[in-house]
Structure 1
């Protein structure tokens, strides 16, 4: 299906950097990040959490390195991870040196916060020697005192000025492998700052609404902020900051990108809110399907509609569809065409088999309703 003009997103042109083997910026796909919350010094627990995030589709994962025990464990963590690891550093420049030597693909550090120019030079040299990128992370909650005194409060101009000051420190040492974030928990402040920064620099931008809240509230807030920026063509990598397990951040990140039509992963579910016309329990059915299809990474679409009012129309636009019918028998659509019925008792299992079979066909480069049906029946 072709993209309509009113759905076109013209991305801001940025230069590209590499975070490990993941390109960020330029024409690279918008990458999805998260951050572990285990003590980094506990390598086993951190690796287990990283594995869950990888399975959810994380492209890049950040770990905090507040002390020497954490950077000591980082080498084992980096070796076990399948995706690039970003070391989160704040004020201790020696942790940055240790993290770079331990194999971190990127250092999250604000050069203006680590002291003298000599320290900045040491961090830059370590990053160059180890092929590390650097992520400058400006946050409204931790703006420099002189900027707060100058502007009176966190504002877009203060965030952007802070970012430009940090950028200048890196570029003074001939370092350009950096990306920048200007985050705030106030989504209006964050969005305005990103717009200003996007017009002032050519580096990749890392998007996020920081301290967004819990799973539901934080998802809504992040979707509005990140979604509006992506719609404006701004953003090269994202992190959804939730008070939830990090793998949930990854899932929400992909849902934002899928809804914007800029990146696809896994099953896109189109489902109705349900009403008295429903032929089956739509809400519980969708919950079960989302849980059981979470392992599918192949992009495909599934419609789950409770009745025939909108069901056939939605099914025509999806790879697999189910529409509620009478007497406990429901219509199944394959590639938009009515194909067969399924009873209540076998409906969820049947749809899971159909989706798994369709994903296998897509991966194998084939796509026919007969193949899907045959695989599901096997």
Structure 2
């Protein structure tokens, strides 16, 4: 179904780079990233966490490489991962060289912060030799001293100037496989910086509101900041930075993309906030369904409404719907049409089976069309 004009998002045109086998920018789907929080020097724990993120749908994962123990373990992690691995490097240029040799698909490093021109040359040469991309990561909390002195405080202009300085170091060495982030914990600052940067560069942009906070507050803050930029057409890859588990960051990232109609993965739930009219416990039902349906990757929609006021209207627009009725008996809608009733005790299990069957039906149809 084509988007209505007031829903249309015209994405900023950027050139495309490859992070491993994942295209970023140039019209490729907006990718969702996260970062592990296990010691990278513990490959088993890190791989276990990566698996959970992969199950949640992550496209790219970043791991921190602060020491030689971490880069020594990186090769094993890269080989085990099913998605590209970004090595997070700060200041220690030799860690970047080791990470590139270990198979990292991308180096997160600011070339202006690693010292001499010779060191920058070594990192760029290692990236070229190993097919690594580079992510320049400007952060309002760690701006260069000269820029803070020039502008007096972190501001959009300072973040953009920092990014351009780092970009020039790569371009002067004929390296163009890079993406850029200009993050801040102040969402107004971050959004303004991204808007300004988008006007003057053609590289892919990595979006994020850094140090956004805990699960609830950080989700709200990130959704406003990242969501507004995506709505404006800016952004090629995103990371939701939460004080929460990495797989939760992935799920929130996909929810942002789903809400904007940019990318769909899994079940989009439409549910009411519940009130005294509800025919069943909407809150607990939705919580249970979201937990039970995390394994569904096929894009589809499910409406869960507690009564018949808005229930039938919402159900007409979703693949599967349920509205609360009297005496513990509720109406089930399939493809927008009333189909049958289900009792309270059987409702959650019944809906899970309907969603799984619908997902299998959609997948089979897609495979048949592709054959």
Distance 2:229 2:338 in 1: 39
Distance 1:3 1:169 in 2: 41
Secondary structure at the aligned position of 2:268 is classed as: strand
1:19 is the counterpart of 2:24:
no
Distance 1:22 1:336 in 2: 36
> Aligned pair count?
367
1:297 is the counterpart of 2:330:
no
Distance 1:2 1:172 in 2: 43
Distance 2:44 2:113 in 1: 31
Secondary structure at the aligned position of 1:287 is classed as: helix
Distance 2:6 2:336 in 1: 25
Distance 2:355 2:7 in 1: 27
Distance 1:121 1:335 in 2: 59
Distance 1:106 1:6 in 2: 37
Distance 1:261 1:216 in 2: 22
1:188 is the counterpart of 2:188:
yes
Segments ≥4 residues shifted beyond 2 Å: none
For 1:69, the equivalent position in structure 2 comes to 69
- 366 and 118 in structure 1: CA distance in 2 versus 1, 3 angstrom threshold: closer
Distance 1:227 1:210 in 2: 14
Pairing 1:183-262 to 2, within 5 Å after superposition: 183-262=183-262
For 1:104, the equivalent position in structure 2 comes to 104
TM-fit CA distance, 1:3: 1.1
Distance 2:253 2:188 in 1: 19
Pairing 1:1-378 to 2, within 5 Å after superposition: 1-365=1-365
Distance 2:204 2:313 in 1: 40
- Per the normalisation by structure 2, the TM-score is 0.98
1:196-216 alpha-carbon deviations (Å, 9 max, x no partner)? 000010000000000000000
For 1:374, the equivalent position in structure 2 comes to none
TM-fit CA distance, 1:337: 0.4
Secondary structure at the aligned position of 2:275 is classed as: coil
Unaligned runs of 5+ in 2: none
Distance 2:168 2:118 in 1: 15
TM-fit CA distance, 1:89: 0.2
1:250-289 alpha-carbon deviations (Å, 9 max, x no partner)? 0000000000000000000000001010000000000000
Distance 1:104 1:73 in 2: 11
- Per the normalisation by structure 1, the TM-score is 0.96
1:70-115 alpha-carbon deviations (Å, 9 max, x no partner)? 0000000000000000000010000000000000000000000000
Secondary structure at the aligned position of 1:288 is classed as: helix
TM-fit CA distance, 1:366: 7.2
Secondary structure at the aligned position of 2:211 is classed as: coil
Distance 2:2 2:306 in 1: 28
Secondary structure at the aligned position of 1:365 is classed as: helix
Unaligned runs of 5+ in 1: 368-378
Secondary structure at the aligned position of 2:6 is classed as: helix
Distance 1:285 1:230 in 2: 31
1:315-353 alpha-carbon deviations (Å, 9 max, x no partner)? 000000000001110000000000000000100000000
1:299-325 alpha-carbon deviations (Å, 9 max, x no partner)? 000000000000000000000000000
Distance 1:246 1:203 in 2: 26
For 1:375, the equivalent position in structure 2 comes to none
